[in-house]
Structure 1
Amino acid sequence: MKKKTYEELVKESPVTYEMYANMVDDGNRYEISDGVLELMSPSPTSIHQLLSVQIVLRLDASCRNEFIILAAPLDVILSDTEVRQPDLVMIHMSRAHIISNRGINGALDLVVEITSKHSLKRDKLTKRKVYAKYGVHEYWIVDPFNFTLEQYELREHYYELIEVYSGEKPIRSRTAPCISFSMDELVRSLPVPLDQLT
């Protein structure tokens, strides 16, 4: 199969995972949204990456015996025409079989998106609907500007907002009861002063 460029693939519909996996590597990151190839936002900011590392460290410290924790870039193949790259994911050890060399094949236990001004609408609307449709148990949206975490739990095929965490309030999860940290804890652990990042 001849490798196609983004410009060639974006004209095709629907774009499938196989087409996407065989496209020319141009150094950019893409997702497939309902069969449409989409270029992802510009590279994450420093605050995004620093928060991502701190969240992974906390999840790993408390949940590594029960969950596999992975960070982007990584393909989550929800269907042949729905491929996402969340910032962080958690998969219970009992479901490790959904992990393959090409990525994760199927619904996750918990997904974390650290939002940006470029991804806010996508994270809060599009991805929230997609993750619910494909059965992701819990969805977090982390706001690195206000230092809040919105926690959504799956109810049938939609998400219910369970809590908005900020400050010292410990983050708790029914999906992963091993989780326990606060947004202030994350902020205090950043190796660079906040005023340098915001």
Structure 2
Amino acid sequence: MSGNQDDKNRIKEQSVTYEVYAAMPEDGYRYEIFDGELEMMSPGPSVVHQGIVGKLQFILRNTCHSEYTILIAPLDVILSPTNVVQPDLLMIHNTRLNLVTMRGVEGAPDLVVEIISPGSRSRDKVKKLRIYVQHGIPEYWIIDSESRVLEQYLLAGDHYELGNLFEGDDPVISDKLPCVSFIISDLFKDTVVQKLLSSN
């Protein structure tokens, strides 16, 4: 067994912190930490995934850039020493930019967004939802490219409530983020995204 594999096995056996994770040798993979457990992320995002993230970033920058900073993965969001995630997109109000450091984002953004990939459904809808609640992230969007819907989860005390389910030509709005205003179907109108989704 190689030394590198020995290192990985030891990491899996102990509670992983950000410091342990940051010191790991680069191996070409991306990882997240959930309650001290290191998890390898799915393979690189698909073209559809990238197209949707790019379109959403463009839309939000057009309407929210004066109030919010919009960032996309890969970027470490260090919610605690043992919870480090890489949401596909996040927004932070410009009055809270002290959260942005050279290491990434250290604290809870105002919005996190995940685009569901074939191998990420359970991670996004169960593990990440639980972690995001635990750290008090006010709003969480899950976008499903196959069904072309956006699930909007809003923090209500110690849990999330499904605030809305946007589909078709529904306008996406948010009471917590007044600058948000777009039609959900616009996310899927990128030429390449349309081509690939219609071929499935």
TM over 0.5: yes
1:97 is matched with which residue?
98
Please name the residue that 1:115 is paired with: 116
TM-score by length of 2: 0.93
Deviation at 1:182, TM superposition (A): 1.4
SS in 1 for 2:173: coil
Q: Which runs of 5+ in 1 are unaligned?
A: none
Could you tell me how far apart the structure 1 residues matched to 2:7 and 2:85 are? 19
Q: Is the 8 A contact 1:90 1:110 kept in 2?
A: yes
**1:146-176 deviation line (CA, Å, top 9, x unaligned):** 1100000001111000100011110001221
CA contact (8 A) 2:32 2:84 kept: yes
Q: Separation in 1 of the partners of 2:59 and 2:193?
A: 19
Instruction: Please list every run of at least 4 consecutive aligned residues from structure 1 whose deviation after the TM superposition is greater than 4 angstroms.
Output: none
Q: Contact (CA 8 Å) 2:48, 2:193: kept in 1 or not? A: no
Residue 186 of structure 1: CA displacement? 1.7
For the residue of structure 2 that corresponds to 1:178, the secondary structure is coil
Mapped partners of 2:193, 2:177: distance in 1: 30
Q: Which residue of 2 aligns with 1:170?
A: 171
Instruction: Give the Cα–Cα distance (whole angstroms) in 2 for the partners of residues 196 and 184 of structure 1.
Output: 15
3-state DSSP class of the match of 2:90?
A: strand
Q: Does 1:186 align with 2:187?
A: yes
From the two aligned structures, give the one with the greater helix fraction: 2
- Any idea what the Cα deviations from partners look like across 1:7-51, whole Å, max 9, x if unmatched? 44222x211100100100001000011001110111111100000
CA change 1:49–1:193 in 2 (3 A) is closer
How many residues in Structure 1 have an aligned counterpart in Structure 2?
194
For 1:193 and 1:14, locate their aligned partners in 2 and report how far apart those are by CA, in whole Å: 40
**For the structure 1 residues 121 and 178, does the alpha-carbon distance in structure 2 shift closer, same or farther, using more than 3 Å as the test?**
same
| One-letter code aligned to 2:56 | I
Matched, 1:196 2:196: yes
**Contact 1:77-1:84 at 8 Å conserved across structures:** yes
